[in-house]
Amino acid sequence: MRKPHRLLCLALYGIAALAHGADATSVDVIPMPAQVSHAGQAFTVETQTPIVVDAGDAAARRTADYLAALIARTRHLRLQVKEGPLAGAAIVLTRDAQAPVANAEGYTLDVTPRGIRVVAREEAGLFYGAITAWQLLTPARGSGDVQVPAVHIRDEPRFAWRGLMLDSARHFQTPDEVRTLLDQMAQHKLNVLHWHLTDDQGWRIEIKKYPDLTRIGAWRTPPDAGRHGEPARYGGFYTQEQIRAIVAYASERHITVVPELDMPGHAQAAVASYPALGVTGKRPPVSPDWGVHPYLYNVDEPTVHFLEDVLDEVMALFPSPYIHIGGDEAVKDQWQASPAVQARIKALGLKNEEQLQSWFIGQMGAYLAAHGRRLVGWDEILEGGVPASATVMSWRGTQGAIDAAKQGHDVVLSPAPQLYLDQMQSDRDDETTGRLPSMSLESVYAFEAVPKELDAAQAAHVLGLQANMWTEHMPTLRHVEHAVFPRMDALAEAAWTPVAARDWHGFLGRLPAQLARYRAQDIAYADSAFAVSVEVDRNAAIESGRATVTLSNQARYGNLRYTTDGSVPSAASPLYAGPFAVALPAVVNAVALAPDGTPLAAPRQRQLSLAALRSMGSGELDNCPGSDFRLRVQPTPDATSMAPTYLVNVFDNCRLYRAARLDGIAAIRVDTARLPRNYQLAHDARLVVAHPGHTPQGELEVRLDGCQGERLASLPLPAGGSDAFTLQGALPPRQGVHDLCLLFTSPITGPLYGIGEAALLPTDGGAR
């Protein structure tokens, strides 16, 4: 037999290595380490492989115990933690003051036939090395023994502030739910939980000196309280004991919890608890609304002392060097209208309300500084001047960070909409709640925290970046998980990995293993980036009785496989290679598979019948011209399920059915939901468009060729009854393709209406 050619041997070896996940590109670690090199032979971790720490090193022991528990939970391998030195192959975690790493968070990790060795100077670095070891032990498939490729890793983070903000004010997470998020942060090497604890809709932190903050301020009465599944009152708060436990839990995972107490705006729950803190003297309710509210703290001495008392208790609970005092969205109407506040402005020698806010923030900054803490605030704190020591969190885009860094302030980037996790993950109609435009996994991955406008000295003020999980539309942990994951992976890589090692395609290749880790931990990640969209030209299909089907997914990743016979697609189904034709009616079922054949997303199905092609779901209907605000909400603000959802525009209650083919159409059916209009829009309220109606509760008007066009139908909205109802009415015969405007003429002081589905019904009454 002839010897195989040398090149062929290499090629075969390459394929074998790929199959075992041991090639140079397949270290399934997220965030990608700073340096990875491959050499030598792999190591197989078995049940007998111990995790070894130096005798008496309590820090290494803690880390080893954590690693063993994580491996047991996610790989079903029960490894013993032992004190060394020991002979034989092992996973060794060791601290060494001389370790060749850049800082306390750095580590090296080596895989050789003798085992896995993690070395760091400090416990934090050891912990991050252990996380990397865990990821090497949890590739996409399998449980039990695992072969780990031979690697040398030298790693440390790019940024010191790698954050996630959690809004526990709009919706409340239990302490265990907060811990679930802390666990995931730790597994992603994120190290700051910015905890938004007070807002107009709830005060969530127990303050012993002021019990009404939680007796009153932690509870709100939802719209439709007690009806339609809404609770009679919604709320909750964290006791000081619970907070101490959460802070300790975070600290064990090398996460600092930075508390935020928002002021001088977003203060309605505080004013509801103690009206004397407010400007008007009146007691408002704790707000059941979303948006920007008018309630500000006043600025008299007792209120400043109240806030200092609160900060005393906050500082006792949170060892964080940083305390966040908000500062965002304080519309100044109440200060402008108050003679007492105006007198205070004069007495302090200030010019206006912006300077008053700046004075107020300065008071808080000075108090924190006197207690050895640093103030962080949203970028509005730059308006009117801010203490030099303040750290600025840029949320209104990146301009705040640029201005602040140029003035010598430290900055954290958390710009809307790029790093706002309440922006939906995709435009898909099967998404749950959130705002649009969507921010894809790729867009979060691409975020660069150092604005190019900064020179090197200014760039040194960029502490890092943070994604913000606002929870107005995230009533349960499942909603939060859907919004956070897997974008947390993209965030982690933007925060940790040096620019030169960041690679979107490499990241996609490492993600299937991470999705398996989520599944092993029951994390309800969104599969939006990989869900297959089944696209057809509706009108061409209706005209010809055949559809040309195009398949794609947002990430443009994976092998797309499909069926047209109603069966669930699998690795054995046809591979999508380009648009294909089907005769109507048909059902296309499609899935994206990772290179190893594991599904990247649940299969998605689309019915291709005349009836289905003549109807549009909520998310397929466009906004009417004039306002691009889009929000996907559930029928009630505190829903405990994930569906149904309705896409609405709170500024203009109107949807556009684009390119409707009207030949043969005799009627329209609209599945409609009456939704609470619980939004406070502050100065933007003037932008809400009113459409005059003919009855007190208004109608759904159907207009031809846009919203000023001929009125084809006017379907009265029911005065009472169920909040989900179907409107149906005749349409006069029209030919050709037209945009239909679906316009609600209901009063803008009343409910909003959402459309679940709008369907055009043919003369023959039939679906085919």
Q: Which of 313, 329, 333, 430 is catalytic?
A: 329
Report in angstroms how near the CB of residue 757 gets to ligand ACM at its nearest.
Answer: 33
Phi first, then psi, for residue 539 (nearest 5°) are -70, -35
Angle at 483 between CA 482 and CA 485, to 5 degrees: 70
> Which residues are bridge partners to 263 per DSSP?
326
CB of 468 or CB of 623, closer to ligand ACM: 468
679 binds ligand ACM (CB under 6 A): no
| DSSP 8-state code for residue 586 | E
Phi first, then psi, for residue 617 (nearest 5°) are -80, 175
Residue 199: active-site member: yes
HEC letters along 667-709: EEEEEEEEECCCEEEHHHHHHCCCCCCCCCCCEEEEEECCCCC
CB of 266 or CB of 630, closer to ligand ACM: 266
334: helix, strand or coil: helix
Q: Which of 188, 266, 473, 691 is catalytic?
A: 266
Angle at 97 between CA 93 and CA 101, to 5 degrees: 80
CB of 292 or CB of 665, closer to ligand ACM: 292
378 binds ligand ACM (CB under 6 A): yes
195 binds ligand ACM (CB under 6 A): no
For residues 556 and 537, the answer to whether their CB atoms sit within 8 Å is: no
CB of 466 or CB of 497, closer to ligand ACM: 466
Report in angstroms how near the CB of residue 380 gets to ligand ACM at its nearest.
Answer: 8
- Taking the C-alpha atoms of residue 65 and residue 82, their distance in angstroms, rounded to an integer, is 10
- Taking the C-alpha atoms of residue 638 and residue 476, their distance in angstroms, rounded to an integer, is 8
HEC letters along 340-378: HHHHHHHHCCCCCHHHHHHHHHHHHHHHHHHCCCEEEEE
Q: Which of 28, 110, 156, 199 is catalytic?
A: 199
Nearest to 670 by CA among 680, 678, 660: 660
Report in angstroms how near the CB of residue 378 gets to ligand ACM at its nearest.
Answer: 5
Peptide bond into 644 cis (omega under 30): yes
Residue type, 521: Q
Report in angstroms how near the CB of residue 194 gets to ligand ACM at its nearest.
Answer: 10
Instruction: Give the DSSP H/E element, type plus range, for residue 561.
Output: strand 559-563
| DSSP 8-state code for residue 599 | B
Report in angstroms how near the CB of residue 634 gets to ligand ACM at its nearest.
Answer: 21
CB of 26 or CB of 394, closer to ligand ACM: 394
- Taking the C-alpha atoms of residue 434 and residue 143, their distance in angstroms, rounded to an integer, is 36
Report in angstroms how near the CB of residue 637 gets to ligand ACM at its nearest.
Answer: 18
- Taking the C-alpha atoms of residue 539 and residue 707, their distance in angstroms, rounded to an integer, is 22
CB of 120 or CB of 402, closer to ligand ACM: 402
Report in angstroms how near the CB of residue 274 gets to ligand ACM at its nearest.
Answer: 23
618: helix, strand or coil: helix
CB of 145 or CB of 329, closer to ligand ACM: 329
For residues 578 and 649, the answer to whether their CB atoms sit within 8 Å is: no
CB of 81 or CB of 467, closer to ligand ACM: 467
Footprint of ligand ACM on residues 481-510 (CB under 6 A)?
A: none
Report in angstroms how near the CB of residue 340 gets to ligand ACM at its nearest.
Answer: 27
Nearest to 421 by CA among 433, 403, 406, 409: 433
- Taking the C-alpha atoms of residue 143 and residue 146, their distance in angstroms, rounded to an integer, is 8
| DSSP 8-state code for residue 608 | E
| DSSP 8-state code for residue 277 | G
Report in angstroms how near the CB of residue 395 gets to ligand ACM at its nearest.
Answer: 4
CB of 197 or CB of 515, closer to ligand ACM: 197
Query: Which tokens belong to 673?
Result: 């939901």
Report in angstroms how near the CB of residue 420 gets to ligand ACM at its nearest.
Answer: 7
For residues 72 and 89, the answer to whether their CB atoms sit within 8 Å is: no
Report in angstroms how near the CB of residue 388 gets to ligand ACM at its nearest.
Answer: 22
**DSSP string of 368-433?**
HHHTT-EEEEEGGGGTT---TT-EEEE-SSSHHHHHHHHTT--EEE--TTTTBTTB-S---TT--S
Instruction: Give the DSSP H/E element, type plus range, for residue 757.
Output: strand 752-762
Among 395, 507, 679, 744, binds ligand ACM (CB under 6 A): 395
CB of 151 or CB of 193, closer to ligand ACM: 193
Residue nearest ligand ACM, CB atom distance: 328
Residue 266: active-site member: yes
Q: How many CB atoms lie within 10 A of CB 457?
A: 10
Among 328, 427, 527, 699, binds ligand ACM (CB under 6 A): 328
CB of 403 or CB of 535, closer to ligand ACM: 403
Nearest to 250 by CA among 203, 165, 181, 312: 181
Task: Compute the chain's Rg from CA coordinates.
Answer: 29
Phi first, then psi, for residue 759 (nearest 5°) are -125, 135
- Taking the C-alpha atoms of residue 552 and residue 606, their distance in angstroms, rounded to an integer, is 13
Report in angstroms how near the CB of residue 439 gets to ligand ACM at its nearest.
Answer: 14
Among 177, 329, 537, 620, binds ligand ACM (CB under 6 A): 329
Q: Sketch the per residue contact string, 635 through 664, with ligand ACM: x for CB under 6 A, - otherwise.
A: ------------------------------
CB of 154 or CB of 194, closer to ligand ACM: 194
Footprint of ligand ACM on residues 80-99 (CB under 6 A)?
A: none
Number of residues binding to ligand ACM, judged by CB under 6 A: 4
Residues tagged active-site: 199, 266, 329
Binding residues vs ligand ACM (CB under 6 A) = 328-329, 378, 395
